[in-house]
Amino acid sequence: MPWDRNQMAARAAEELEDGMYVNLGIGIPTLVANYVGDKDITLQSENGMLGMGPFPYEGEEDPDLINAGKQTITELARTAYFDSATSFAMIRGGKIAAAILGAMEVDEKGDLANWMIPGKLVKGMGGAMDLVAGVGRVIVVMDHTNKHGQSKVLRECTLPLTGKGVVDRIITNLGVLDVVEGGLKIVELADGVTEEEMRAATEATIVD
């Protein structure tokens, strides 16, 4: 059985080490916070916060306290607030150990596309281009194929890029792939997924 959203998030959480400062994107990446266990992880929200806490209890929402997805959140004992220039200085300056992000397409050179589809409504890149260019390690979490069954793990991205050669590791419902010299290397297969199934669903070059 391929992994479901929660299993993908749990697998992504294994990438995080004690003491890391991490930025989580919207969607499945947000679920990663539920699986860090005892590890001491500090979450950054790029609108100006380190030490992001869970959603508030009903009635305790604070309009001055939101995450980068504009959702109401809470602070923790360790929380620090800062302005947007400072926030992206720590991103661009390589202080954030890892970003876990969703994607529309990833390719074998580590190119990432996750911000626009030509001809469709373009909402903007937000902080995604800054994150992928700046953080220590970029981990993509997404479904291996789109709703038409076509591979999202490509030889070359077809959509406008968010970053070029920026992805380090890809976690999908079928398993884990690393971007290496010459293509992608299979690191792990989801329980019950065969290498043949992984290869069949992957357009990118797989190297041994």
Distance CA 46, CA 22 (A): 10
**CB nearer another protein, residue 69 or residue 206:** 69
The residue count for binding another protein (CB under 8 A) is 53
Residues 6 or more apart whose Cβ sits within 8 Å of residue 123: 116
**Among this protein's residues, is 61 annotated catalytic?**
no
Using the rule CB under 8 A, is 77 a contact of another protein? Answer: no
Using the rule CB under 8 A, is 49 a contact of another protein? Answer: yes
Using the rule CB under 8 A, is 87 a contact of another protein? Answer: yes
Using the rule CB under 8 A, is 40 a contact of another protein? Answer: no
Beta sheet of 169-171, edge-to-edge order: 75-81, 49-52, 42-45, 21-24, 98-101, 137-141, 169-171, 175-180, 183-189, 206-207
Minimum distance, C-beta of residue 189 to another protein, in the bound complex (Å): 31
Minimum distance, C-beta of residue 46 to another protein, in the bound complex (Å): 7
Contact between 98 and 22 under an 8 Å Cβ cutoff? The reply is: yes
Catalytic residue among 14, 15, 17, 46: 46
Using the rule CB under 8 A, is 26 a contact of another protein? Answer: no
Q: CA 110 → CA 137, 162, 201, distances in Å?
A: 12, 11, 17
Q: Can you tell me which of 38, 70, 181, 196 binds another protein, judged by CB under 8 A?
A: 70
- Catalytic residue annotation: 46
